[in-house]
Chains A and B, each alone.
Chain A
């Protein structure tokens, strides 16, 4: 009955692709899929949008309607009263404009700002070889010079002092080289360290003075107390991380070693430091350290705080590096043994380069944490950004300014830390050599 011809409704060619319904594409579709896909989602979305709106509605006029040109709180209030009348809250950013450089550099002489800036740029150059491959080997010289040049740039004084400090390492290395060839590597290490210590304690000072009198190369000295604001926070953070790096490696290796006493000492140190809050360590720096040193020994509070922060950072650094060491496959250790390398050779050539590379993201997040923790030094009356907030509030012109200062400090901290954490994520992806 049916004939093939009658099936006229069978299409012989494909239909062109139709665009999806309006409700599934474009902004509407996106909103449907991402915001209003279920009743719960609708409620949550609306609530969040309301929350965002109310926060921004309160915050934005305050921030952007603020007064930038006023030299005291009273003046600022008068200006605001003239424009907005009673009961309108707007920020007095004049305090930030006037005190910006103090919040950034503390009492550091303004004509010498280039020195810490240069030190910071140098730092980036110094860590570049770690972060980028394919840089010329000579760049490593910049890295090696950094720990000696940066303190000289910041504190000033004779150029011969960092040179002599560096010479200490050279002397130690030479002694180590000679003695380990002739006697034994263990004796070599001990003698090398002793020689370096002797050099620093007894010889470096007089020689530096002598060289200074022959070839004077001195730049203006700046006292530790002059350093403040964000410069202090960055300085404490960077010295903490840099100095804690070698200590952390030693502690991590000690913790994993099979020498019972060494292991016990390292574990004890790490757990003690990690078990107490940083603020108690800072109390030790400000109040107790003098008890533990010979009578009359005295060095300034910033140096004391640096020592305690370094101890603190070292304990955490040790744990990060231990994580890196633990992440290495056992085969690497066995391969090193099979090659007949001794412990230090294996560590130096095979284990540590890989373990440290794995640890870099952890080290960066440690650094972010430490940088944030430097705000605690304001509790022991150092002039970090929060310390400066107190100092500025103590001035008759700006007594009573609160939110502008805290807000600014929080904003700058956010910029620094957020930038670094993003960068560390990028690094993590880049350094990923696995699959």
Chain B
């Protein structure tokens, strides 16, 4: 495939270039770069650092996929997308993977024609409120002003929740998280509602985090995960199994520290199959044998990625909770590599 080139200010030739080929995998390989849709700046999930290097939890997934497919975890073009532009960008082929804390819902899966390849964060919508308000339950929020990000599922959940409980509220829809945070801190809204992870990240950035609490009610299920276009199952498989490889790696204690040693061969066949010393998993996916090894080395296993970006040692300080492995009481579970 010929790369689309911007020839000159008045040239039209570029309009015809860049016809998408059949498979995303071939496209990515030909391009030598993975186009990955991420958030326009969400603390802990995706943001560029002072050197322009992207970092975050969603970013790490993109890097792992790039490492698996291209062998280079820096071969990623990060495309910041807003909640409005994200689906169009994926549908039109502008990005190959969308890893932008997007909730898996039926209508997105079926009507918008995407495939969610898995869940990398089990989230739920909560409320952040100043302690001084003396509110202990979301049911006491009758008449409150609520800051909310427009165009997301949270807006619908909120309407549903207040309708079910028969209480009223005043919505203040805002564009992004930083705007919501600003209004909340100024007291222009009583409470801020969004996904629990984002609430924690927001609270962590406050001057006095202890003055604010997250209410116990979780009013929705928000399984967040990467998604790809419907219909290209080979590509979907690659992203799905890259995520599963990260999860399995945590389960089998494959870490970025010991992976070199383990990849020389172990007596656990599952580890061997993941790391490509046994079986031909990579070949089945259309990749080479080392694909999962590279994915894990890119940023560590699932647990390492979690701890490095949003875990308890980071300013965001999220505990694993639902996002612990199934063996530790969480929901994170990978189908077997067999």
Contacts and interface: CB of A to CB of B under 8 A. Distances in A.
Please tell me whether chains A and B touch each other in their complex, using a CB distance cut-off of 8 A. Answer: yes
Interface of A: 71, 73, 77, 98-99, 102, 107, 147-148, 150-152, 155, 157, 161-162, 164-166, 168-169, 197, 200-201, 204-205, 223-225, 239, 242-243, 286-287, 290, 293, 296-301, 303, 379-381, 383, 387, 390-397, 399-400, 402
24 contacts: A99-B50, A107-B48, A107-B52, A147-B8, A151-B7, A151-B8, A151-B9, A155-B6, A162-B7, A223-B77, A225-B78, A297-B16, A298-B18, A298-B94, A303-B14, A381-B82, A387-B40, A390-B176, A391-B47, A394-B40, A394-B42, A396-B314, A396-B316, A400-B178
B41 A297 contact: no
Contacts of B11: 165, 168, 200, 204
What 8 A-B pairs have minimum CB-CB distances, sorted nearest first? Answer: A394-B41, A165-B8, A394-B47, A399-B205, A381-B82, A393-B178, A395-B47, A147-B9
Given A98-B50, A299-B18, A150 B9 contact: yes
B20 A296 contact: yes
B interface: dominant SS: loop
Which of the listed residues B6, B14, B42, B88 has the most CB atoms from chain A within 10 Å of its own CB? B6
Nearest to B177: A394
Contact of B205 (A73, A287, A301): A73
Contact of A298 (B4, B13, B78): B4
B5 interface: yes
Which of the listed residues B19, B50, B88 has the most CB atoms from chain A within 10 Å of its own CB? B50
A297 B19 contact: yes
Contacts of A301: 89, 94
A247 to B, nearest CB: 11
Given A286-B88, A396-B43, A396-B205, A297 B15 contact: yes
Contacts, number: 161
B7 A396 contact: no
Given A296-B20, A381-B40, A381-B82, A161 B5 contact: yes
Interface in B194-243: 201-202, 204-207
Contacts of B34: none
Contacts of A73: 205
B79 interface: yes
Contacts of A298: 4, 18-20, 92-94
A92 B308 CA distance: 27
B6 A162 contact: no
